[in-house]
Structure 1
């Protein structure tokens, strides 16, 4: 959960009426003799919001001091003077959000490398000397692309181990039907690992290519891809296309097409 989501939950808590029973009489920092299960629905919601925020913070790797966290929450909810400036608050929350994003990216990167290792263990998977993993689902009999050629293909690229691709030529129509819309692209415009593997793939083939980070987006990462992350790319090679004489494709390093 980001700092923004935490703030939204705090706003939601404002809609719950303040407890007016033995819980209030017991003191702000003392446990109540009244079980939460016996309280009114608005009071239960206040407790549920606290549990949800606490669990989310811990899941994101944030471990705030409970008393100071409650002091800040209490000041915000009761409109008492806040003890930090808006600038300090913004900077602290921004720094925390950046740490969370970095930790999440690191976890996704590590998980992708583990998933790529599992992919490599498949009997039908071969490993190239340059590091790419190749698994043919079907092998066509058509021509192979030139390293400087153009191709038409169906394409789905995702972070290894994650189910939903971040780039795909498949779309869902308004009627709910899944259809493929092939793209045409120069081989030189693809990621380094794909530029290496595709010239060895005959037209009519469907192949899944595992790309270690240095054959994909590397330490810089890319659109929707954290740094040092492995990819799995599924390609159905439909055709080799003629190259226009004036075409001068530039090799992609961080372009929109993976």
Structure 2
């Protein structure tokens, strides 16, 4: 039987040398500005002095413990439930060149099966959390809709279904209304329905620039209704925000989001100067569709036509 040493060693090395999670005491007190190399004190090109660790006198001791730490962190963060005696026994068997209990192929298949189970488990957990958040969001929107000054706007989704977002006009602007291909400068604040803030341009001290059609669907629809100078509060269901995709540690799948948006200015996009090649999707190709070359002037006309067909507030 072929010994599966390569698979065991490769897996061990891959786990062992995953970066350790950063800790507060490991972080520098200051950081150089972007693009500026960090300054080194004179004479620091030499190798740093060896690290002294109590109870680990030799370099072999420190390396062994370091690799063990990395393996432990990786097993913990990866959700691996292992028998430590069997794990260390496998490492000893490899290093001692004993006959191993499984082949490369068997080890690889076991890891593939485990990863598949973990993905299915995480997907089920995500779907359950998304359903819970959608129910809570629906309840919030149902009550919010009754409040004075809250309006609604219905959107047709790509699948033919409709979704509704709510908005409240805080300040009514009088400037021009953005088109789908415009660049806009906005100040905004995003919160969850429990009031926790997850993002704010105000904290960064300046408006942020976005393409109107490169943001979440609820933003796009609202911006194409907002005169410049307006400040609105948007209440977006998950279907018009991030759907079932979590965003960072705070925005869970299926979350209903609240945004306060102030439309500061509009910057018209640069005109198209070159043709565009449109490649059909796989399904379109199967149906006989061909690659198209779209003339810049035709694309510009289509954008203008689409903008003219947009319903006004």
Which one scores higher on RCO, CA 8 angstroms, separation ≥ 6? 1
Larger-gyration structure (1/2): 2
